[in-house]
Amino acid sequence: MRYAELQPGMVAVIGLPLDENSSFLHGAAQAPAKIRKVLLDGSSNLCAESGLDLGTHPGWRDLGDVQLGSPEAPLAQIESAVAGVLERGARLLSLGGDHSVTYPVLRAFSRYYPNLTVLHLDAHPDLYDELDGNRYSHACPFARVMEEGLVRRLVQAGIRTLNPHQRQQARRFGVEVLEMKDWRGELPALDGPLYLSLDLDVLDPAFAPGVSHHEPGGLSVREVLRILQRLEVPLVGADIVELNPLRDVVDMTAKVAAKFYKELVARMLG
């Protein structure tokens, strides 16, 4: 990857085209290319709602996809690629891929940000100890993160599939879970530095049909944008995961992902 282009304080975007750890359906590996395509398709501009124009701002680079050429070790390859960005002093937006990518990303972040807070927006808590015999499933990344003590604090919002096992896991690891049934539009006070993990199925399927696991009763696009725009602590990294272009309708969900892409890069630059 073109790490030499990065200077401290810049924002790097990398694609993580991995869906080997998906359950139910595959397709998320196609997401980074699809998000880039709709971002640049000419149907809208590159301005974030803050007014920052990514089309003219020199402070960010899209470094392309991590080449996952070794099927037996994609998580290690992702961790190494992320470390290459962070050692340059840059901030990072990762485009998944399924949610399993967040575990190696946070393994790298933990070396540079030992007191990291994670805000996780998702329909699912992703705290399974294992799923279908796979401890690295996209349903398990935050169990691995918390077992290894990679972050200081994990706050989850939008959750609406908390079963007894995952509820027990949340208690075990001290995870702060804001279930959707209790959502009143406000997050607890967050500490920095902050990492945001944004699973697109946090959205109600009406706004995001292009995901593998439709879970009715979620957030709206505007509610998620409001969360992003009201963050008051330094945002040092983020990921957008679980777009499945094979299930999308006229690129609707890909366009939402591209919108979040712009807002997150602008937030990290700001």
Torsion sign, CA atoms 58, 17, 39, 219: negative
Residues contacting residue 114 through CB under 8 Å, at least 6 positions apart? 152
Confidence of residue 69 (pLDDT cuts 50, 70, 90): confident
Q: How confident is the model at residue 60 (pLDDT cuts 50, 70, 90)?
A: very high
How many domains does the chain contain in total?
A: 1
The answer to the question of residue 125 being in a domain is: no
Q: Is the pLDDT of residue 246 over 70?
A: yes
Q: Report if residue 72 sits inside a domain.
A: yes
Report yes or no on 250 lying in a domain.
yes
pTM of the model: 0.97
Q: Give the mean model confidence (pLDDT) for residues 68-80.
A: 87
pLDDT at site 270: 86
Q: List Cβ neighbours of 176 (8 Å cut-off, separation of 6 or more).
A: 153, 154, 155, 156, 188
pLDDT of 143-154, one tens digit each? Answer: 999 999 999 999
- Tell me if 129 is assigned to some domain: no
Q: Tell me: the pLDDT tens digits for 213-233?
A: 999 999 999 999 999 999 999
Residue 121: inside a domain, yes or no?
no
Could you give the CA distance from residue 59 to residue 207 in angstroms, rounded to a whole number?
31
Residue 14 lies in a domain: yes
CATH number at residue 252: 3.40.800.10
List residues forming the annotated binding site.
99, 122, 124, 126, 199, 201
**Average pLDDT of 245-250?**
98
Residue 105 has pLDDT above 90, yes or no: yes
State the DSSP string of 136-157. TSTT-HHHHHHHTT--SEEEEE
% residues pLDDT > 90 (the chain): 97
With CA atoms as reference, report the closest residue to 138 among 153, 123, 158, 117: 123
The whole-number pLDDT of residue 259 equals 98
pLDDT of residue 1: 81
Calculate the average pLDDT of the chain.
97
Task: Determine, yes or no, domain membership for 172.
Answer: no
The answer to whether residue 71 scores a pLDDT higher than 80 is: no
Q: What integer is the mean pLDDT of 157-161?
A: 98
Q: For residue 11, give its domain range.
A: 3-115+194-269
pLDDT of 213 reads 97
Enumerate the H helices of 115-209 as residue ranges. Answer: 141-147, 164-173
Q: Tens digits of per-residue pLDDT, 163-197?
A: 999 999 999 999 999 999 999 999 999 999 999 99
Q: Does any domain span residue 168?
A: no
Helix residue spans in the chain (DSSP H)? 31-39, 74-86, 102-112, 141-147, 164-173, 221-229, 252-269
Is the pLDDT reported for residue 59 higher than 80? yes
Is pLDDT above 80 for 128?
yes
As annotated, the binding site for Mn(2+) includes 99, 122, 124, 126, 199, 201
